[in-house]
Amino acid sequence: MKIFYAGLDIGGTNVKLGIFSAIDAYDRTDRNRSLQTSYREEFPVPGAGANLASVLVSEINKGLKAVKDEVSKSDVPGRSNGYGYGADEINLTGVGIAIAANCRPDGTVIGSTNLSNDFTGLKKRIEQAFGCPVYLANDADLAAAGEYACGAAQGSALSMTVTLGTGVGVGIVSGGQLLSGAHSAIGEIGHIKMFSSDEIFLRELSLKYGASPSPEYLSMTEHCGCGGEGCLEQYCSAQGMVRIAGLISEIDAIANGKNSVEEVESENKYKTPIDVFQAAEAGDTIAAKAIDEYCDILGRGIAAMSCVLDPYSIVISGGVSNAGKALMKPLQAAFETYAYPLSRTARLKQGKFGSYSGIWGAAVLASSGITGFFRG
């Protein structure tokens, strides 16, 4: 029998799925991790009215079939197929699910600021479909587990992994265990108040880049998904970077004679963080300013967390981290500006798995189980 695990990451926008093979069951004392991905795909998060469990079961079955089909292509009677096992020996042993939500260590979903899906009965439905244990945990926590077990935080006695995607979160691994906190809300860096209100942010940004804030401009205030204002996630999520670039573009244009916010908005060319980074690389000064502003806010937030944790390793993961040096260099500089003096020598590391850290962590969870993996 060949052991396989399914790892899923249900984010605020997309679901990622990986089918992982393992030579041995995951062992937290073993530095030579044996998990490897055999299949990977991504699809949009089902709408609030969809049967989430049915969609996930279907996609996992699709992934298992793809793996079995690939192995079957090499099956030759009486000969080794190069894999060392046949398609009929493939067995799904566990399923791990990372969710953009607060989850208790037993897998109970408490709530989410970015998802409206109903998770009731999800664990039981998938366990019934595949006859194996299913584990659920917060996506930032499992991104940290993936980077600790198999990626950039391996061997670190105390690490924090910052995930930058639809939301912003931190997972903390200490002594090989994920910390969860009294309310399963540890590491919610995305909801640190960076500004007393979004209007204050808009005013400061406008004055910083050369325009007196008009009433029309100040009317563009937004709330965070948690219901508050001025949260780090509003500015440092993927959409937060896009928003900052758009705002600076508007401020610059209005300062140079544009008649209205609406006129400027119609010309906004920044749709994704990739657009912002590519524009900056091509010499776009507005995009470059947006990246600096983004990193300044995020660097302050990470520095604040480091004052509390004093981690050995700080890993940056999630989709925005795929920008590499274009993100990491200004972010490191901002972190050093705000960090406690003794912590300024800490090097921020780009995660090994980028936006796929969550599925690696989910596979680690599936192979190790909940027992001993979390501690309050």
For CA atoms 192, 196, 202, 204, the dihedral sign is: negative
Give 210 or 29, the one with higher predicted confidence: 210
Helices (H), the chain: 52-72, 122-130, 139-150, 198-208, 215-218, 232-236, 238-255, 261-265, 273-281, 285-309, 325-338, 357-368
User: What one-character-per-residue DSSP string does 285-324 give?
Assistant: HHHHHHHHHHHHHHHHHHHHHHHHH--SEEEEESGGGGGT
pLDDT in tens, 315-372: 999 999 999 999 999 999 999 999 999 999 889 999 999 999 999 999 999 988 765 4
Q: By mean pLDDT, which of 42-56, 120-134, 240-254, 360-374 is the weakest?
A: 360-374
Give 196 or 116, the one with higher predicted confidence: 196
Helix (H, G, I), strand (E, B) or coil at 355: helix
pLDDT in tens, 75-117: 655 455 556 677 888 889 999 999 988 887 777 888 788 777 7
With residues binned 3-state (H G I as helix, E B as strand, rest as coil), the percentages for the chain, rounded to 5, are 45, 20, 35
Q: Can you tell me the distance from the alpha carbon of 368 to that of 366, in angstroms, rounded to the nearest whole number?
A: 6
Residue range 292-297: mean pLDDT, rounded: 98
pLDDT exceeds 60 at position 199: yes
The answer to whether the beta carbons of residues 114 and 318 sit under 8 Å apart is no
pLDDT exceeds 50 at position 25: no
Q: Is the pTM of this model over 0.95?
A: no
pLDDT exceeds 70 at position 27: no
